[in-house]
Chains A and B, each alone.
Chain A
Amino acid sequence: MADTTGDAIPGTVTVDDDGVRRRDFINIAAVAAAGVGGISVLFPLISQMAPSADVLAESSTEVDVSAIQPGQAIKAIFRKQPLFVRRLTPAEIDAANAVPVGSLRDQQTLDDRTKEGHRDVLITMGVCTHLGCVPLGAAEGEVKGEFGGYFCPCHGSHYDTAARIRKGPAPTNLEVPEYEFISDTVVRVG
Chain B
Amino acid sequence: MSFPWAQQYQPTNAFTRFMDEKLPLPRLVYNAIGGGYPVPRNLNYMWNFGVLAGFCLVLQIVTGVVLAMHYASNAQVAFASTEHIMRDVNWGWMLRYAHANGASMFFAVIYLHIFRGFFYSSYKAPREMVWLLGVVIFLLMMATGFMGYVLPWGQMSFWGAKVITGLFGAIPLVGEPIQVWLLGGYAPDNAALNRFFSLHYLLPFVIAGAVILHIWALHLTGSSNPTGVEVKQESDTIPFHPYYTAKDGYGLGIFLLIYCALLFFGPNLLGHPDNYIEANPLSTPAHIVPEWYFWPFYAILRAFTVDLHIPFTAIVIIEAKLLGVLAMFAAILLWFFLPWLDKGPVRSGHYRPLFRKFFWFGLIPAMLVLFYCGGAPAEEPFVMLSQIATAYYFLHFLVVLPIISMIEKPEPLPYSITEAVLGEDKAAVLGENAQPVGV
Which residues of A line the B interface, CB within 8 A? 1-2, 5, 8-11, 30, 34, 43-45, 47-50, 52-55
Question: Taking CB as reference atom, which chain A residue is nearest B236?
Answer: A11
How many residues of B are in contact with the other chain, CB < 8 A? 29
Q: Which of B15-23, B86-94, B181-189, B397-405 contacts A (4 or more CB under 8 A)?
A: B86-94
Q: Are A52 and B84 in contact (CB under 8 A)?
A: yes
Contact between B249 and A9, CB atoms less than 8 A apart: no
B239→A48 contact, CB < 8 A: no
Q: Given A5-B242, A48-B89, A54-B84, are A11 and B422 neighbors across the interface (CB < 8 Å)?
A: yes
CB of B430 to closest CB in A, whole Å: 10
Given contact pairs A5-B242, A48-B95, A10 touches B234 in the complex (Cβ within 8 A)? yes
B69-A49 in contact (CB<8A): yes
Check if B90 sits within 8 Å of A48, measured CB to CB: yes
CB of B420, distance to nearest CB on chain A (Å)? 12
Contact call B242/A1, Cβ cutoff below 8 A: yes
Contacts A34-B249, A49-B69 hold; do A10 and B242 have CB atoms under 8 A apart? Answer: no
- What are 11 residue pairs bridging A and B, where the CB atoms are less than 8 Å apart in the complex? A10-B428, A11-B427, A11-B431, A30-B249, A43-B91, A44-B90, A48-B89, A50-B90, A52-B70, A53-B89, A53-B90
Give min CB distance, A37 to chain B, whole Å: 8
| Residues on the A chain within 8 Å of B94, using CB | 44
Residues of chain A within 8 A (CB-CB) of B418 are 11
Residues of B within 8 A of A9 (CB): 234-235, 238
B380 CB-CB contact with A under 8 Å = no
B84 & A48 in contact (Cβ 8 Å cutoff): no
**A-B CB proximity, top 10 nearest:** A11-B428, A44-B91, A53-B88, A52-B88, A11-B235, A10-B235, A54-B88, A47-B90, A52-B89, A48-B90
Which A residue's beta carbon lies closest to that of B237? A9
Residue B28, interface by CB 8 Å: no
List the B side residues contacting A49 at CB < 8 Å. 66, 69
Residues of A within 8 A of B422 (CB): 11
Q: Which residues does chain A contribute within 8 Å of B249, judged by CB atoms? A: 30, 34
Min CB distance B33 to A, Å, is 15
Are B431 and A10 in touch, CB under 8 angstroms?
Answer: yes
User: Contacts of A44 on B, CB cut-off 8 Å?
Assistant: 90-91, 94-95
Q: CA–CA, A30 to B87, complex, Å?
A: 35
A43 to B90, CA, bound (A): 10
> Does B62 count as interface, using CB distance less than 8 angstroms?
yes
With A10-B433, A45-B66, A52-B88 known, 20 other A-B pairs at CB within 8 A are A1-B242, A10-B234, A11-B418, A11-B422, A11-B425, A30-B249, A34-B249, A43-B91, A44-B90, A44-B91, A47-B90, A48-B66, A48-B69, A48-B92, A48-B95, A50-B90, A52-B89, A52-B92, A53-B88, A53-B90
Query: What are the residues of chain A within 8 A of B88 when measuring CB–CB?
Result: 52-55
B432 interfacial contact with A, CB 8 Å: yes
List residues of chain A with CB within 8 A of the CB of B432: 10
Minimum CB–CB distance from A112 to chain B (whole Å) comes to: 35
* Cα–Cα, bound, A181→B84 (Å): 32
Bound: A93/B66 CA distance, A? 50
B62 proximity list for chain A (CB < 8 A): 45
A84 to B204, CA, bound (A): 48
Q: Which residues of B contact A43 (CB under 8 A)?
A: 91
Least Cβ–Cβ distance between B151 and chain A, in angstroms: 17
Distance in angstroms between the alpha carbons of A8 and B418 in the assembled complex: 15
Question: Which residues of A are found within 8 Å of B429, using beta-carbon distances?
Answer: 11
CB-defined contacts of B433 to chain A, threshold 8 Å: 10
Bound state CA distance, A50 and B425, in angstroms? 62
Q: How far is the CA of A48 from the CA of B425 in the complex (A)?
A: 57
Distance of A48 Cα from B429 Cα, bound (Å): 56
CA of A115 to CA of B41, assembled, Å: 78
A45–B69 Cα distance when bound, in Å, is 11
Chain B residue numbers with a CB within 8 Å of A53 are 87-90
Closest residue of chain B to A6, judged by CB? B238
Instruction: Specify which of B89, B235, B238, B427 lies most central, judged by the most chain A CB atoms within 10 Å of its CB.
Output: B89
User: How many angstroms from the CA of A47 to the CA of B95 in the assembled complex?
Assistant: 11
Q: CA separation between A47 and B69, bound complex, in Å?
A: 12
